[in-house]
Every structure is written in structure tokens, then in C-alpha cells.
Amino acid sequence: MDKKSKKTVGIAVVLVMIFMGIIIVLNKASVQRALKSINSEYSGGLDRTVTVYDYDGNEITQYTGKIDIEDTETGGKVKFDLDGKRTIIYGGIVIVQEN
């Protein structure tokens, strides 16, 4: 094998290794969640259903549509936008499911 062929094979091996590394990284669940969050942020939300229950487990209301949820870890509140309108829920049990 001459030098040019060896160089070509070496480049091909490096490119395959880089490609495989990218595939491995992108298939991690945490990366998939991050990409979904970015998609939600820039596309105005994901198709979701938000169901609100009282503390006895009775359903109070339900929202369905392209919903962008804002993460709020404090104060027991959930904030989201649906059809251009802001909804803030204080208290209760809130379950968000992707459709």
C-alpha cells in the first residue's frame, strides 16, 4: 500500500470513529431530553395534555394542545402557555403528558 492509500484509509477510519461517537452521544436519554426541550423552546411547545387534580385525586380541569411548560421548582406553581394565553396553576397535583 502506498502512502496516499494509507492516508486515505486513516482518514476514513477517523471519520467513521467520529461518526460512531456522535451516534453514541446522541442516543443517550439525557441528550434526547435536552434536544426535546430545545425543540419545545423554539417551536412554541410540544403537543401535550395537562391535567390538574385536587389533593383528593378529583380532576379539576384539563388542557390539551401545543403547550410550552416553564420549569418552576419553587412555590408549587406550574406555568405554561397555550394558544397564546398564559396559565399559572398554584397548588394541586399537575400531570403533564406528551401526546
Residue-wise pLDDT tens digits, 17-37:
888 877 776 677 777 777 777
- What HEC string does the chain produce? CCHHHHHHHHHHHHHHHHHHHHHHHHCCHHHHHHHHHHHHHHHCCEEEEEEEECCCCCEEEEEEEEEEEECCCCCCEEEEEECCEEEEEECCEEEEEEC
Neighbours of 58 (CB within 10 A): 8
pLDDT of residue 4: 77
Give the confidence band of 58 by pLDDT, cuts at 50, 70, 90: very high
Give me the residue spans of the domains in the chain. Answer: 1-43, 45-99
Give the confidence band of 3 by pLDDT, cuts at 50, 70, 90: confident
pLDDT of residue 64: 93
pLDDT of residue 53: 93
pLDDT at 49 over 90: yes
